[in-house]
Homo-oligomer: A and B are copies of this chain.
Amino acid sequence: MKPEHQIIDLAKVKVSCTNCSLTELCLPRGMGEDAVRKLEKIIKRASPLQKGEYLYRGGDPFNGIYAVRSGLIKVYANSDGGEEQIIGFYLPGEILGLDAIENNTHACFAVALETSSYCTIPFADLSGICKVVPELQDQLFKIMSRELTNENQMLLTLGKKNAEEKVATFLLTISNRYRQRGYSANDFKLIMSRQEIGNYLGVTFETVSRIFSRFQRDGIISVHKKYVNILDMDALKKLVSGCCG
């Protein structure tokens, strides 16, 4: 019943974009070979973050954007009142830090939820970089545009869905993103805690726990602590599209 842990453990270090298994998901997606080779020269690879270590914090100067290479990175914003809102969980191949371009300062916090490696795309001289790698410009526009689309979806989830639909949406989104990365869409480990899932979805962790239990009782999923097995994908999909779907 328990899925093998290594299916989502990507801690292997890749040396170049060309050889990286993420190339079709990450920044180089759709770029020509020449462009990717030029990109490789710009990108910096840092030593991995340990669980709990920060990639950046609110107030930090903006030095570049980041691509997750392995692991999982949580990004959250702080309200004036000190409350945290998790903005997203970033999987390998996903880009974070884009929201700091305008102010040259990070407003959010990015922290590793497990050992995570990443690449840095220095942004100090972006105009220069995009001149050297013209395809990078369009690529960045597309990545930022996709991020906006994702956030629009999240606004809809937070604004219009009930707790059950939120949790179902969350599970489906995670499942799809794992599938894109070549992992099982039905069997995975939730690295984040119930508390963090609830925070992200605008519900309490008790509610998340209860809905997981309810889904299990109804044969939609099976849950053992952090391991989730989706048993009835169609039922989940029906839940997210609301009553009329």
A residues lining the B interface (CB < 8 Å): 77, 79-83, 85, 87, 98-103, 107-108, 126-127, 130, 134, 137-138, 140-149, 151-156, 158-161, 199-202, 240-245
Contacts and interface: CB of A to CB of B under 8 A. Distances in A.
Contact of A142 (B101, B127, B146, B152): B101
Nearest to A79: B156
Binding site secondary structure of chain A: helix
Contact of A77 (B101, B108, B153, B161): B153
A138 B108 CA distance: 21
Contact of A82 (B127, B199, B242): B242
Kindly list the 9 A-B residue pairs having the minimum CB-CB distance in the complex, ordered from nearest.
A81-B242, A80-B241, A101-B145, A159-B202, A158-B158, A85-B156, A102-B145, A99-B148, A151-B151
Contact of A152 (B77, B103, B134, B241): B77
A138 B151 contact: no
B156 A77 contact: yes
B148 A138 contact: no
A85 B240 contact: no
A153 B137 CA distance: 26
A229 to B, nearest CB: 24
A160 B127 CA distance: 38
B148 A144 contact: yes
